[in-house]
Amino acid sequence: MSINITSRFDIPQDILDSVIAPGYTDLEIGYRDLGDGLFYACTYARFPYAKGEMVKWWFGTWLHDTASYRLWSKDHVSFRWDERKKPGTPVGATHISSEYIGDDVVEMGISFFEPADIFDVSKFAENNISFVLVAENHSPDGEVLMTFLHVIRDTPYGCEMRNRFWLPNSTEQVAKDLIFHNQGEMGSLAEFLPGLYYRETQ
């Protein structure tokens, strides 16, 4: 049976359930070829001394221009929010950016949506889910590049981020490049976010 995932509403229910449930799945870092050009990729990062509220602040408040975007990763080239951005949250807005993924600069618009569109958010608190991003990524001409989830779970040491990506009309190399890119992004963010948050908010 062919699988087609081009929006948040196409994400399989079993993955939505497992990514907010206690424990881990058999694929937390890596990728699978789902056939017909669709790849499923997963990444994972630990954030010592950071909680989900800090990650929310990063995406909703601190991230506001190219300079703040480039602080995150040397792969980032340019960044701006569209006119729908509201204070304190990325939900409802699109960030328009360009960044290296592998050897290529990719221009994209990443639109963020309410987690309640696809999740049973009543289960978040009991499972220590402190922040979730649901996003769809398009090229400037409207081509679907990926649909993805960033799921933050608070832990005794801080928090952890579990990420899920679906890449239609893609290749194994793109999936590998995305994993390398995202692991670098989130590893970098985990290192500097606690200090930046306390410096800017206290």
For 129-163, the pLDDT digits (tens) are 999 999 999 999 999 999 999 999 999 999 999 99
Strand 144-155 versus strand 158-167 pairing type: antiparallel
Rounded to whole angstroms, the Cα distance separating 68 from 111 reads: 18
How many residues are there in the chain? 202
Tell me the pLDDT tens digit for each residue of 121-133: 999 999 999 999 9
pTM of the model: 0.96
pLDDT of amino acid 135: 98
The domains of the chain, with CATH numbers, are 33-201 (3.30.530.20)
The strand ranges marked E within the chain are 30-35, 38-48, 76-81, 94-101, 104-113, 129-138, 144-155, 158-167
pLDDT range class, residue 4, cuts 50, 70, 90: confident
Q: Would you say residue 200 has pLDDT above 90?
A: yes
